[in-house]
């Protein structure tokens, strides 16, 4: 066991690893924000459709990304033990599962139109969302493979490349999305389909760059990541599944809470759904800060767990939670102070619906300030638990908190209680609060003190 590190040493190590991850997650979310802004200028039905379609894509992606996320703690613990062979095995099989999952889930995107109609969505919005998903769904496999490679590189503490590749992708996406949507610079006007096509192109290009870096950088060649990639490794495939499937289902439970809120918001009205989408995009950007810190906590916790260094593991966990809490307070102040200015960035103020979208979006951001700390707490706790490869009980906690408490509360407050969109957001607050409390309790009672 190594010496107990000081709090400042833990803080420096957390920020050195976490800040590039935070930046990459924020940049990744900016890809979707660009699409939302461009389509907000294009038309309200298209904006509502990309909110709905993007939410559906995200739900499927989150479930599949469990295998990619499993790579991070497995590689971190293997490095802590000095087992370089396991590094390669876990990463490869995480990529195998990503490919298999992408193939199996694409029919959901192709037949999304009837599914959205069955879920009670308006026919015009459902048709547009289905058009978006048939193209965007092709990007699931490259997106999941990119996530697996990011987990591999993060566990190796090579996060700078993850940041800069993602930032570059944002710029290229902005250069592609606008002309493909509006038909500028000699390109055809594709509307919503143009946004989906731009995103797909970016996902493929990002995968190529990440794979070349991970596989052929001289300092990483010793892991032989792509050597005989086609050969199955059944024991490692099973380990990735056992760790990754609960992670994916946990993410599905959480994203399902937000997707259910989006679907129910569609019952309230198209304008409310568009405003909801804007507010969710804003809070999602803030949430990415906590996801990056959570990833850093997973890597550091995994390293300490692999070494059996429980004292440093606990102290590092305290610092991660403290940093995330401080960021959450700043975000709350921003949402409460500049709500109208933030929402105004996403809409054409000359639109007939602009005033209503601005009003509802500002209201929803006020509720977002209420659940910001809860959302940060639950994702930090999940990151810490994944570092010690504890994923099954957190999955159960998430399912109960989100599906048995959060969604029923959102429905009851929105419709029987008559609070409409505000009630849906209050239900989100309740579900996240329950999850954060239970997951934090799970971590601190499970990790040994010494």
Asked, for residue 278, whether it belongs to a domain, the answer is: yes
Task: Provide the pLDDT for residue 22.
Answer: 86
* pLDDT for res 307: 87
Our count of domains for the chain comes to 1
- pLDDT, one tens digit per residue, over 317-374 is 999 999 999 999 999 999 989 988 988 887 777 777 888 888 888 888 888 887 788 8
| Percentage of the chain lying above the pLDDT 70 cut | 99
Residue 435 lies in a domain: yes
Alpha carbon distance 45, 59 (integer Å): 21
Residue 121 host element (H or E): none
Is 68 part of a structural domain of the chain?
Answer: yes
The single-letter DSSP state of residue 352 is T
Q: By percentage, how much of the chain surpasses pLDDT 90?
A: 38
Decide if 341 is inside a domain: yes
The pair of three-digit structure tokens given for residue 175, joined into one six-digit string: 């250069």
Q: Which two tokens stand for residue 413?
A: 């407050």
Q: How far is CA 111 from CA 78, 137, 216, in A?
A: 41, 11, 39
Best CA proximity match to 381, nearest among 369, 371, 393, 370: 393
| pLDDT value for 2 | 60
pLDDT band at 99 (very low <50, low <70, confident <90, very high): very high
DSSP 172: H
Give the tens place of pLDDT for each residue, 274-286: 888 888 878 888 8
What pLDDT, on a 0 to 100 scale, did the predictor assign at position 148? 94
- Local confidence band at 384 (pLDDT 50, 70, 90 cut-offs): very high
Phi/psi zone of residue 109: left (φ > 0), alpha (ψ -120 to 50 degrees), beta?
A: alpha
Please give the structure tokens belonging to residue 101.
Answer: 């999952």
Q: Between 449 and 103, where is the model more confident?
A: 103
- Is residue 297 pLDDT above 90, yes or no? yes
Give the pLDDT mean for 407-426: 91
Higher pLDDT, 432 or 348: 432
Average pLDDT, stretch 156-172? 86
Distance CA 345, CA 348 (A): 8
> 274: buried, middle or exposed (CB in 10 Å: 19+, 13-18, 0-12)?
buried
Given a cut of 80, whether residue 161 has pLDDT beyond it is: yes
Output the pLDDT for position 25. 81
Mean pLDDT of 244-266: 86
Query: Is 358 domain-assigned?
Result: yes
Q: In this model, does residue 395 exceed pLDDT 90?
A: yes
Are the beta carbons of 325 and 408 closer than 8 angstroms? Answer: no
Angle of the 140-155 helix axis to the 160-182 helix axis, nearest 10:
160
Looking at 177-191, 205-219, 220-234, which range is the least confident one?
177-191
CB 378 within 8 A of CB 436: yes
Is a pLDDT exceeding 90 seen at residue 145?
yes
Domain membership of residue 129 as a residue range:
7-446
Residue 1 is assigned to a structural domain of this protein: no
The 3-class SS string of 268-301 reads: HCHHHHHHHHHHHHHHHHHHHHHHHHHHHHHHHH
- Supply the pLDDT for residue 450: 53
Does pTM surpass 0.75?
yes
pLDDT in the model for residue 441: 95
Average pLDDT over residues 20-31: 81
Query: Does the residue 66 lie in any domain?
Result: yes
- Per the domain annotation, does 2 fall within a domain? no
């Amino acid at each position: 066991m190594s010496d107990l590190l000081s709090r400042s040493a833990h803080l420096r190590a957390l920020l050195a690893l976490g800040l590039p991850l935070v930046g990459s997650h924020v940049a990744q979310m900016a890809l979707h924000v660009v699409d939302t802004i461009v389509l907000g200028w294009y038309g309200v039905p298209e904006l509502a459709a990309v909110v709905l379609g993007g939410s559906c894509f995200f739900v499927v992606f989150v479930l599949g990304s469990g295998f990619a996320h499993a790579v991070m703690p497995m590689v971190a613990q293997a490095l802590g033990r000095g087992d370089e062979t396991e590094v390669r095995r876990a990463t490869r099989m995480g990529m195998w599962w990503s490919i298999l999952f992408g193939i199996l889930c694409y029919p959901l995107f192709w037949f999304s139109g009837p599914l959205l109609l069955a879920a009670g969505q308006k026919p015009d919005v459902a048709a547009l969302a289905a058009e978006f998903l048939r193209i965007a769904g092709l990007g699931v496999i490259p997106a999941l493979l990119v996530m697996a490679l990011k987990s591999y590189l993060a566990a190796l503490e090579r996060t700078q490349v993850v940041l800069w590749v993602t930032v570059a992708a944002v710029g290229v996406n902005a250069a592609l999305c606008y002309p493909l949507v509006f038909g500028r610079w000699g390109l055809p006007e594709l509307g919503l389909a143009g946004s989906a096509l731009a995103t797909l192109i970016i996902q493929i290009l990002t995968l190529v760059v990440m794979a070349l870096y991970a596989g052929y950088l001289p300092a990483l060649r010793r892991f032989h990541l792509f050597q005989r990639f086609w050969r199955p490794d059944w024991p490692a495939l099973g380990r990735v599944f056992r760790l990754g499937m609960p992670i994916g289902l946990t993410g599905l439970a959480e994203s399902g809470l937000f997707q259910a809120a989006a679907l129910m918001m569609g019952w309230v009205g198209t304008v409310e759904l568009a405003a909801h989408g804007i507010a969710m995009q804003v809070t999602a950007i803030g949430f990415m800060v906590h996801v990056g810190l959570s990833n850093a906590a997973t890597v550091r916790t995994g390293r300490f767990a692999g070494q059996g260094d429980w004292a440093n593991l606990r102290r590092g966990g305290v610092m991660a939670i403290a940093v995330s809490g401080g960021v959450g307070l700043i975000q709350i102040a921003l949402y409460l102070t500049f709500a109208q200015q933030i929402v105004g960035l996403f809409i054409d103020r000359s639109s007939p619906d602009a005033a209503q979208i601005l009003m509802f979006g500002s209201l929803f951001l006020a509720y977002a300030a209420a659940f910001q700390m809860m959302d940060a707490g639950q994702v930090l706790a999940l990151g810490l638990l994944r570092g010690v490869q504890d994923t099954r009980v957190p999955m159960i906690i998430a399912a109960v908190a989100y599906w048995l408490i959060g969604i029923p509360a959102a429905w009851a407050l929105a419709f029987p209680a008559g609070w409409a969109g505000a009630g849906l957001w209050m239900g989100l607050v309740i579900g996240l609060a329950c999850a954060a409390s239970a997951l934090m309790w799970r971590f601190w009672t499970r990790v040994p003190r010494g």
